[in-house]
Structure 1
Amino acid sequence: MSEAAATIPDTPLFDRAGSIRGYRINKMAMALGQPANRAAFKADEEAYLDSFGLSAHEKSAVMGRDWHEMVRLGGNLFFILKISAVDPTPITRIGAAQASMEHEDFLHLRLGKKRNG
């Protein structure tokens, strides 16, 4: 890990080691760019994940839509966002998860949304 990245708490560095660690998750997520793979994911998510050899921990993170954990496991956020093409999770919820914030707080603080009441 570089010295600069080491000084930012809770910031995973996507370097060579991260790329190798996240290879299976990233390969699976990139494959969702193909309509047939999106259909397979929707039809039987666990079987689809098994076809890419994901570990039990990786599968748990994907199936639980634990966006932060997927990145911690080496997933590249740009690849992982492809999961949102087959999942109704709004991108702002993914952003909130990455920032370790509640969704409403994320909308308020990061996007300038006004609070009701």
Structure 2
Amino acid sequence: MPEHRAIPDTPLFDRDGSILGYELNKMAMALSQAVNRDAFRADEEAYLDRFGLSAAQKRAVLARDWHEMVRLGGNLFFILKIAAVDPTPITQIGAAQAGMSHDDFLYQRLGKQRNG
């Protein structure tokens, strides 16, 4: 990556990221259709295998490792389709991207009161 475009600890979704994450993003976008959401819920591994994800991408999806999915070329707009199946709050994904606990993220980034 050219030095002038590097942002420390921030995966950049550019042409290279798009190529790297093509299968991951195609799989996630397919979750827009109810039949695919049903297939994903029924057998996640089999569903992921249909799209030819890399082993690392597959592990990231199965673990719901949002930061790793983005690092492996996932576009956040497509990754959110995976989150919608569970459903996972977008603030939880934001916390993962920031390397923070969900509670800390809500408090520090959004000014919410801490739980407990």
State the alpha-carbon separation in 2 of the partners of residues 116 and 63 from structure 1: 28
Query: Root-mean-square deviation (CA), in Å?
Result: 1.3
State the alpha-carbon separation in 2 of the partners of residues 68 and 35 from structure 1: 26
Per the normalisation by structure 1, the TM-score is: 0.93
Per the normalisation by structure 2, the TM-score is: 0.94
1:88 maps to which residue?
87
Q: Does the 8 Å CA contact 2:67/2:96 hold for their aligned counterparts?
A: yes
State the alpha-carbon separation in 2 of the partners of residues 77 and 2 from structure 1: 22
Instruction: In structure 2, give the amino acid aligned to 1:66.
Output: D
Equivalenced residue count is 116
2:63 maps to which residue?
64
In structure 1, the gaps of 5 or more residues are: none
State the alpha-carbon separation in 1 of the partners of residues 38 and 110 from structure 2: 33
1:97 maps to which residue?
96
Which portions of structure 1, spanning 4 or more consecutive aligned residues, are displaced by more than 4 angstroms?
Answer: none
Describe the superposition over 1:34-83 as per-residue Cα deviations: whole angstroms up to 9, x where unpaired: 01100000011000000001121111000000000000000001100100
In structure 2, the gaps of 5 or more residues are: none
1:50 maps to which residue?
49
The percentage of aligned residue pairs carrying the same residue is 78
